[in-house]
């Protein structure tokens, strides 16, 4: 007994007082049950399962007497390795009772919603895929990663659209794709023809219509029709308006006529009668039951409508009346018995009984043959089943036929493997157990399938070749090219292979895919140059591998005032950034000058003044302030705001304006009025001491 606290295991071992029943030394009969009391630890420390797969976690928990819950683990999008545990409950290192269960959550890859690529040029697909994956990459803190969703296989297809246009994609738009997955596309690569609608046309007219569309008539099947005359087309494949390659065969179903003769099925078992009627092109109505046909064999047809030999429209349903009573199925195979009983509306229950002979046949039936029974009655069949069977010879069969043969024998397929076998690819070459070995029913049989004998080829170097030249070089080596990425580049010419995988010199089986990265026209980000001097702007643009166009250059200090394309835009390497530049001068010192002098000074420097008046001061017409200040940079043609002094009271009758001669003022509002000369007005604002007319 352990020193730690113990609990009694229930179930097989029942709790007892003295630890053993019967007690030691007791004489008992051979075969007597001895009950033991077992000591086990009550609590264990929970192990940390994070980063492990559920399978490994199960083994770890089993070592300490714990187990995973029966329900499937939850899955969450995570950057952890897919399929590994990211959370558990209870958490480690808590102590839990032995036998407890643990719930876990496993990581699954982040997924991206596949965008709609239909109608795009194949060159635009990588950018669309990159944009679709950008939000997910942003969440993961990888905003610059360009491989979130990439272009996979590009399959040429026949289409009426422009060459190079995407006409199909896999996965479809709106479906989810794991992050860093690929999207395959079908691209219009050759002209297609549109399948015309030949339904209801006569077969000869349909053939002519298909020939006009550069198509051919394919297989022809016949079927009775109530609405289409003999020879008329009922169905076609491909469907109307489908786009296919010129010369494609179009299969049709042609009407075989409107009337047919009803066969005679009186006295026949129902399954045989139904097979005969449907083979003649007729349907079968729900079977009716006749309780008064005591002289007829149960399960056989006693009446049919239309009558045998009648000429009716093909496809008409034939109504059968069947003698009531359970038919005799003893001695028949279980499959045949079920087919006949279910056609009469009975429900079949099966009971297996081991036998040495007659395996698979009905031994007993209940109710017995001839017993009246309504539809829905359960008929129990006792079927002989051999407990041991002989393993069939599967050599030379494909996997489908081999599986069917094992199922028929009562065995199961346990597993498959392959071995090189020239001329027997896909066929069984070995099996375990061997043929004719007697085994228990349900035993698993393993098979070895023949595989092609592969002679490896050497991958040629295609980096530096054009895409077409690379395709030809790989095709000559019995390899297939796959454009995995179209990557912008300023160093490699567009259309030239930049990378390949596998690398040159690798050995690969014939028909293997060689993935390549093809260069496209390189793009760069346009730098921001507005507000910079022309020399600095030119340096930044040239550093970005672009050209700059500033137009005619005037002497002096020049600053960029606008640019096209805008800063941050994407531009092709070597393209031109057009900028507008403007000369810069230092603002002159205007404060304290008469306004007329200030105007002349600004005009000489190519500047203009924005003037405003301010009441008060010792002399009118003086510049009191300026903006920008003297010495600050001003664009040539720009404006300097100045404040000019004036006299008077705001809102008084006489509102004084300064003319070209600062000592002369004229009254408003008419701007044509009495003229005054300087005098006490400058000491007493608002008063006039002498007035003269404009003419002197």
Please say if the pLDDT value at position 10 is more than 70: no
Report DSSP letters for 284-307, one per residue: EPPPEEETT-TTSPTTBEEEEESP
Could you tell me if 197 and 240 are in contact, meaning their C-beta atoms sit under 8 angstroms apart? yes
Please say if the pLDDT value at position 357 is more than 50: yes
Going by pLDDT thresholds of 50, 70 and 90, the confidence category of residue 653 is very low
CA distance 413 to 397: 13
- pLDDT tens digits, 359-412: 788 989 998 877 777 778 899 999 887 777 889 999 999 999 999 999 988 899
Look at residue 38 in the predicted model and tell me its pLDDT.
Answer: 66
Please say if the pLDDT value at position 306 is more than 70: yes
Look at 68-82, 270-284, 287-301, 419-433 and tell me which has the smallest mean pLDDT.
Answer: 287-301
Please say if the pLDDT value at position 451 is more than 70: yes
Orientation angle between helical segments 334-343 and 270-279, nearest 10 degrees = 80
Q: What is the mean pLDDT of residues 467-473?
A: 94
Could you tell me if 350 and 381 are in contact, meaning their C-beta atoms sit under 8 angstroms apart? yes
CA 576 to chain centre: 39
CA distance 163 to 564: 33
Please say if the pLDDT value at position 496 is more than 80: yes
Could you tell me if 182 and 154 are in contact, meaning their C-beta atoms sit under 8 angstroms apart? no
Helices (H), 72-153: 125-139
DSSP state of 373: -
Please say if the pLDDT value at position 345 is more than 70: yes
Look at residue 295 in the predicted model and tell me its pLDDT.
Answer: 61
Please say if the pLDDT value at position 668 is more than 60: no
Look at residue 378 in the predicted model and tell me its pLDDT.
Answer: 92
Task: Give the whole-number percent of the chain exceeding pLDDT 90.
Answer: 33
Look at residue 292 in the predicted model and tell me its pLDDT.
Answer: 54
Q: What is the mean pLDDT of residues 214-224?
A: 90
CA distance 316 to 52: 65
- pLDDT tens digits, 73-92: 888 877 777 788 999 999 99
- pLDDT tens digits, 189-215: 888 889 999 998 999 999 999 999 999
Query: All domains of the chain, ordered by start, with CATH?
Result: 43-108 (3.30.10.20), 111-189 (3.30.10.20), 193-255 (3.30.10.20), 259-324 (3.30.10.20), 457-521 (3.30.10.20), 524-584 (3.30.10.20), 588-646 (3.30.10.20)
CA distance 53 to 73: 11
Segment holding 404, helix H or strand E: helix 399-409
User: Please, what is the end-to-end C-alpha distance for the chain in angstroms?
Assistant: 138
- pLDDT tens digits, 244-289: 889 999 999 998 777 778 899 998 888 889 999 888 888 888 887 7
Look at 231-240, 429-438, 475-484, 515-524 and tell me which has the smallest mean pLDDT.
Answer: 515-524
Could you tell me if 556 and 524 are in contact, meaning their C-beta atoms sit under 8 angstroms apart? no
- pLDDT tens digits, 573-591: 878 999 988 888 888 999 8
Phi, psi dihedral angles at 463 (to 5 degrees): -65, 130
CA 667 to chain centre: 83
Please say if the pLDDT value at position 65 is more than 70: yes
Q: What is the mean pLDDT of residues 23-29?
A: 85
What's the chain's average pLDDT? Answer: 82
Could you tell me if 400 and 417 are in contact, meaning their C-beta atoms sit under 8 angstroms apart? no
Please say if the pLDDT value at position 301 is more than 70: yes
Look at 186-190, 232-236, 346-350, 437-441 and tell me which has the smallest mean pLDDT.
Answer: 437-441
Q: What is the mean pLDDT of residues 456-462?
A: 91
Radius of gyration of the chain from Cα atoms? 49
- CA-based nearest residue to 433, from 408, 407, 406: 406
Q: What is the mean pLDDT of residues 418-422?
A: 82
Look at residue 9 in the predicted model and tell me its pLDDT.
Answer: 42
Please say if the pLDDT value at position 614 is more than 90: no
Look at residue 141 in the predicted model and tell me its pLDDT.
Answer: 78
Could you tell me if 573 and 596 are in contact, meaning their C-beta atoms sit under 8 angstroms apart? no
Going by pLDDT thresholds of 50, 70 and 90, the confidence category of residue 514 is very high
Residue 199, CA distances (Å) to 94, 312, 444 in order: 74, 24, 52
Look at residue 294 in the predicted model and tell me its pLDDT.
Answer: 52
Q: What is the mean pLDDT of residues 39-61?
A: 86
Going by pLDDT thresholds of 50, 70 and 90, the confidence category of residue 664 is very low
For strands 259-261 and 243-244, give the pairing: unpaired
């Amino acid at each position: 007994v352990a020193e730690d606290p113990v609990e009694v295991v229930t179930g097989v071992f029942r709790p007892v007082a003295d630890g053993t029943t019967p007690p030691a030394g007791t004489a008992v009969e051979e075969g007597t049950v001895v009950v033991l009391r077992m000591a086990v630890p009550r609590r264990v420390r929970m192990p940390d399962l994070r980063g492990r797969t559920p399978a490994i976690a199960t083994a770890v928990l089993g070592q300490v007497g714990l187990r995973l819950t029966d329900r499937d683990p939850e899955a969450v999008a995570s950057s952890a390795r897919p399929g590994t545990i990211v959370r558990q409950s209870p958490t480690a290192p808590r102590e839990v009772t032995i036998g407890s269960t643990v719930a876990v959550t496993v990581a699954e890859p982040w997924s991206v919603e596949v965008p709609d690529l239909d109608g795009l040029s194949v060159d635009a697909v990588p950018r669309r895929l990159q944009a679709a994956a950008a939000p997910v990459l942003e969440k993961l803190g990888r905003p610059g990663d360009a491989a979130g969703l990439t272009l996979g296989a590009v399959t040429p297809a026949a289409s009426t659209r422009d060459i190079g246009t995407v006409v199909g994609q896999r996965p479809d738009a709106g479906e989810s794709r794991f992050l860093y997955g690929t999207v395959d596309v079908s691209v219009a690569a050759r002209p297609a023809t549109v399948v015309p609608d030949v339904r209801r046309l006569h077969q000869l007219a349909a053939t002519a219509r298909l020939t006009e569309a550069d198509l051919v008539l394919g297989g022809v099947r016949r079927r009775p029709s109530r609405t289409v005359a003999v020879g008329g087309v009922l169905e076609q494949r491909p469907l109307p308006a489908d786009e296919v390659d010129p010369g494609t065969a179009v299969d049709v179903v042609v009407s075989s006529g409107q009337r047919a003769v009803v066969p005679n099925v009186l006295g026949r078992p129902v399954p045989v009668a139904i097979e005969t009627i449907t083979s003649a092109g007729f349907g079968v109505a729900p079977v009716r039951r006749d309780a008064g046909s005591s002289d007829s064999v149960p399960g056989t047809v006693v009446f049919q409508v239309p009558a045998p030999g009648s000429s009716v429209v093909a496809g008409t349903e034939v109504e059968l009346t069947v003698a009531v009573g359970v038919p005799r199925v003893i001695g028949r195979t279980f499959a045949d018995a079920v087919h006949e009983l279910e056609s009469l509306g009975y429900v079949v229950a099966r009971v297996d009984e081991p036998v040495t002979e007659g395996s698979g046949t009905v031994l007993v039936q209940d109710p017995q043959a001839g017993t009246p029974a309504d539809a829905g009655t359960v008929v129990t069949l006792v079927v002989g089943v051999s407990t041991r069977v002989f393993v069939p010879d599967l050599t030379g069969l494909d996997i489908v036929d081999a599986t069917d043969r094992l199922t028929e024998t009562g065995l199961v397929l346990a597993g498959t493997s392959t071995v090189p076998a020239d001329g027997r690819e896909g066929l069984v070459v070995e099996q375990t157990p061997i043929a004719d070995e007697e085994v228990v029913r349900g035993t698993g049989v393993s098979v070895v399938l023949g595989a092609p004998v592969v002679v490896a080829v050497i991958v040629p170097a295609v980096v530096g070749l054009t895409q077409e030249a690379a395709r030809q070089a790989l095709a000559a080596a019995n390899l297939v090219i796959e454009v995995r990425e179209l990557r912008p580049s300023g160093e490699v010419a567009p259309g030239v292979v930049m990378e390949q995988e596998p690398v040159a010199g690798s050995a690969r089986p014939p028909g293997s895919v060689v993935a390549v990265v093809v260069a496209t026209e390189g793009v760069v980000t346009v730098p921001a140059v507005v507000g910079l001097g022309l020399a600095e702007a030119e340096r930044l643009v040239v550093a970005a591998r672009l050209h700059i166009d500033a137009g005619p250059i005037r002497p002096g200090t020049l600053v960029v005032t606008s640019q096209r394309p805008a800063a941050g835009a994407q531009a092709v390497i070597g393209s031109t950034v057009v900028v507008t530049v403007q000369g810069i001068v230092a603002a002159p010192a205007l404060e304290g000058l008469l306004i007329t002098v200030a105007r002349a000074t600004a005009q000489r420097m190519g500047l203009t003044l924005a003037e405003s008046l301010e009441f008060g001061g010792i002399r009118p017409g003086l510049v009191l302030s300026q903006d920008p200040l003297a010495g600050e940079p001003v664009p040539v043609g720009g404006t300097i705001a100045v404040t000019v002094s004036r006299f008077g009271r705001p809102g008084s009758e006489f509102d004084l304006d300064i003319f070209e001669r600062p000592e002369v003022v004229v009254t408003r509002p008419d701007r044509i009025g009495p003229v005054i000369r300087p005098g006490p007005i400058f000491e007493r604002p608002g008063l006039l001491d002498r007035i003269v007319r404009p003419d002197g």
